[in-house]
Chain A
Amino acid sequence: MVTLNINQKNYQVDADPDMPLLWAIRDLVGLTGTKYGCGVAQCGACVVHLNGEAVRSCVTKVKRAVGQKVVTIEGLSKNNDHPLQLAWQQIDVPQCGYCHSGQLMSAAELLREKPDPTDQDIDDAMAGNICRCGTYLRIRKAIHLAADMQRNGVKKA
């Protein structure tokens, strides 16, 4: 048994220390917002925050996360109201939606470090996240909008 701290809650899970964090989060803890897309850190669907960094849980072993703070998409905000989530909703970014947990977690890390990102910053932060539906232009637009919301407060649509 190991203890994982996810979204500020401790979970006792019976996980092989070498099990990817992704499967522990999904199958053992039951938080399914974090997605499997490739298993080899290519697509970004599984991005979670590990001590604030946007790690790919499909290649991060459980033993790296033990004793650390993990935040998943379910913990990005309490009420689905992180500026990025609001911007995503305002712009209707997702199509199928499968990749967007990862997109949002990557974008959140970008905004944490660079509250006013340029298009280049967005490319530098987000090119690790694949969206097969091709919503990239909306992702870009929504990140700018979220940055604006962070600076100037949320404007209702």
Chain B
Amino acid sequence: MVVKENHLSRRKFLKYTGGAGICLWLGLSSEGLLAKTKDIGTAKNFSPFILVESNGSITIFNSKPEMGQGTFQAIPAIMAEEFEVSLDKVNIKLTDGESKFGRQSAGGSSSIRSNYDSFRKVGAAAKAVFITAAANKWRVDESTCYAENAKVFHKPTNKSFTYGELVEDASKLEMPKEPKLKDPKDFKILGKMAKRPDVPLKTNGKAQFGIDITVPGMRYSTVERCPVIGGTLKSFDATEALKVPGVEKVMEVEKIMGKYHSTGVAVIAQTYWAAMQGRKKLKIEWDNKGFETFNSADYENHLRELAKEEGIIDKNIGSVDTLTIAPENSIEAFYETPMVAHSPLEVMNCIAQVQGDKLEIWTSTQVPSSITSGGATFGFANENITLHTTFVGGGFGRRLYIDYIIEAVNIAKQFDKPVKLIWTREDTTDCGPYRPMTFSQLKGGFSDDGKLIALQHKVIAPSLRQSGSDKYDAAKVDGSMVEGIGEQAYEIPNIKTSYVRADFHVPLAAWRSVTSSTLSFAHECFIDELAYKAKKDPMEFRLSMLTKDSDLKRVLLKLKEFSNWDKALLNGKGRGVAQWEFFAGLGAHVVEVTYNKDKSIRVDKVYAVIDLGKVVNPDNVKNQVEGAIVMALGAATKPGITLENGKVMQHNFYDNTMVRINEMPEIEVLVLTDGGKMKGVGEPGLPPFAPALANAIFAATGKRIRKMPFDISNV
């Protein structure tokens, strides 16, 4: 690896650190902040990710957007561990989609599990050249030197150089490609509970999200879009809107979400408030394209009808179709789930500025790389796109999509100043994209001794991939719509999974844990149904299908112990178990509930186990699992997204309701780091919750829930 000169000129560096509105150089420790005001001298990059200056200041670049999942600590921690620097003494900077940092995106719970080894190597390789540089200066053998706390020490003499003192020499050395990594038992940061450096910025309002950025000369914009999904603009009259003081321009603007194009009307004004007032005065005629008769209730009936179709086979192992199972040993069930919105608390927003053939963007996004490599989408050369990222006020999959960025760019193309587009909460709720609903038809049968021998799972649903692209091949199974259903660790000799695709016109999106968040509900509730039908304890029934060693077997055995599964509960209480393993990782929960006299259910406690292989920050993992459970509780028990007459019927938090603090169960999280494959953190806590809850409700009430959302105030 060749050491490159730092690209930041001194001048630019100061501009970034000067605290101006656009600055995103997040100096964190007081020491770090201080360092930036000193004379900088030489600054060198050791790989693009580590910047060391001769004054001792160290910056680590985090290329995985921070949306609450903790990458702002976790990614630098991996490098800092090997580089032998303390995290509270480095500056951490979010990257802006520059290609030198590789793929910059946060999704699929992949930030740590996919980059753990490579970021360790980055830190270790940088450390190696500093040790070599020091050894060369002292003319001693490298093996007598070691690095600690941003210094290199000569063991026999206890002499030391700071990294700052070595930066010039070290920068001339080639970084090793396969540096020696630390023995994990010597870790000082990884695997230990650590405070996240972004937290203090989030307790005094200093953390900047996309919506907080101000660019000189900036104007504000809001867009009125066709209330009927699938519709678009026919004509508009801006006369009254333009009379609102502060309103400067009204224009057509196109939004592209996946394969869907639609045109709305943008109002640009000197303040956001004025833009909103102007928007209210617009007179618009929409072309509903025939979608004004669409009702999601009808569509659900359509999905139920489609269940009769064979669909496309996903997996067919053994001989499900020819197997004969006694009727008393088999059951069938149909499960239904709703669309839901992501509803991050930071609404969609983006600032864009177009100057000639140059495009500059400031935004909260999960996918910086998609923006800086998205020139074809925006109509600019990639090298002419400059992005400034910020903290992300909630992603959950919503900010994997760049529809709102495309819209902002299309406004900026028609205006000579930077424009900040802010979607209202209603905009953010009303026009999608949404998690797709999945309906599931299940059949299962067990042997006379109560072992599951056959399982059939047919998914009837619209297609995520088809929503994303016109080029979708409808003859193939959309793998994202049968996610995990044929791949659980249960040893089931005969298993068949299939997919019946339904046409749809509502934009769809990955939502935290994607379709695992709905398919786990069908699958794991059905396993529970089979257990009861076979007169087996639901935990034992699952374990009986896990004779071989597997991560799941290990997890369930731990969960059984952790949740006191064998301890009897009081009357009126019930507990349920569910697990889910999918691309992001593996989690399993036990939920305990009380059935109250007024027929309401109180969710008492959740025992959650997440299996990681290795962990960076255990406390952050717990925070993520707690959050995933809250999100799953909301998606299971609060109204989803429905459409009537083509329009989405939920608009804001009064009808798209969220879990609040007074509804919280107790949650205990066990983080397993027993080795094995590294798994993700952000999503795996979510899929097991809804089925574990429904299973617990069955245990407490004898009522089997097969449809989400369900009302726990009246069961």
CA distance A139 to B623 in the complex (A): 11
Quick check: is A96 within 8 A (CB to CB) of the other chain? Answer: yes
B417 CB → nearest A CB, Å: 15
- Per DSSP, chain A at the interface is loop
Say if the beta carbon of B220 comes within 8 Å of chain A.
yes
- Given A134-B628, A137-B667: A126 in contact with B205 (beta carbons within 8 A): no
Q: How far is the CA of A126 from the CA of B659 in the complex (A)?
A: 12
Asked if B13 lies at the interface with its beta carbon under 8 angstroms from chain A, I say: no
Interface set, chain A 56-115, CB cutoff 8 A to B? 72-74, 76-77, 80, 84-85, 88-89, 92-101, 104
Complex Cα–Cα for A131 and B344 (A):
9
Does B631 belong to the interface (CB within 8 Å)?
A: yes
Asked if B620 and A80 make an inter-chain contact with CB atoms under 8 angstroms apart, the answer reads no
Residues in B196-254 with C-beta less than 8 Å from chain A: 196, 198-209, 211-212, 214, 220, 245
A20 cross-chain contacts in B, Cβ below 8 A? 273
Chain B residues, Cβ within 8 Å of A16: 245, 273
Which of chain A's residues have a CB closer than 8 A to the CB of B205?
Answer: 31-34, 72-74, 101
Main secondary structure of the interface of B (DSSP, over half): loop
A74 touches B204 (CB 8 A): yes
A74 to B212: give the CA distance in the assembly, Å: 14
A19 to chain B, nearest CB (A): 5
Give the contacting residue for B199; candidates A28, A34, A94, A131; CB below 8 A. Answer: A94
Residues in B628-647 with C-beta less than 8 Å from chain A: 628-631
B422 & A36 in contact (Cβ 8 Å cutoff): yes
Q: Are A89 and B199 in contact (CB under 8 A)?
A: yes
**A100, B273: Cβ atoms closer than 8 Å:** no
Contacts A94-B68, A95-B624 hold; do A127 and B661 have CB atoms under 8 A apart?
A: yes
Q: Quick one: given A33-B205, A89-B195, A96-B67, are A134 and B211 in contact (CB under 8 Å)?
A: no
Q: When chains A and B are docked, how far (Å) is the Cα of A39 from the Cα of B207?
A: 21
Please indicate the chain B residues that have their CB under 8 angstroms from the CB of A127 in the complex. Answer: 660-662
CB-CB under 8 A for A43 and B345, given A94-B202, A98-B394: yes
Chain A proximity mask over B14-26: 1 for CB below 8 Å, otherwise 0: 0000000100000
A76 touching B204 in the complex, CB below 8 Å, given contacts A45-B345, A97-B68, A132-B344 = yes
Please report which residues of chain B, range 651-670, place their CB below 8 angstroms from some CB of chain A when the two chains form the complex: 652-654, 658-662, 664, 666-667
Q: Is B522 an interface residue (CB 8 A)?
A: no
- Whether A137 and B202, one on each chain, are in contact in the complex, defined by CB atoms closer than 8 angstroms, is no
Nearest B residue (CB) for A58: B425
Chain B interface: which size bin?
Answer: 35 or more
Residues of A within 8 A of B209 (CB): 35, 98
Note all chain A residues with C-beta closer than 8 A to B346. 35, 37, 96, 98
Chain A nearest CB, measured from B657 CB (Å): 9
Does A150 have its Cβ within 8 Å of any Cβ on chain B?
Answer: no
The answer to whether residues A97 and B271 also contact, given A37-B345, A38-B652, A134-B629 and a CB cut-off of 8 A, is: no
Contact yes or no, B203 A100, CB < 8 A: yes
**Listed A/B pairs (23) with beta-carbon separation below 8 Å:** A19-B273, A40-B425, A43-B653, A74-B205, A85-B204, A92-B623, A95-B70, A95-B623, A96-B67, A96-B68, A96-B345, A96-B391, A97-B202, A98-B345, A98-B346, A123-B662, A124-B662, A126-B661, A130-B658, A132-B344, A133-B68, A133-B394, A137-B667
The 5 closest A-B pairs by CB, nearest first: A33-B205, A134-B630, A95-B68, A97-B202, A96-B68
Interface residues of B (CB under 8 A from A): 21, 67-70, 195-196, 198-209, 211-212, 214, 220, 245, 271-273, 343-347, 391-396, 422, 424-425, 619-620, 623-624, 626-631, 652-654, 658-662, 664, 666-667
Residues of A within 8 A of B (CB): 16, 19-20, 23, 26-28, 30-40, 42-43, 45, 72-74, 76-77, 80, 84-85, 88-89, 92-101, 104, 122-124, 126-140
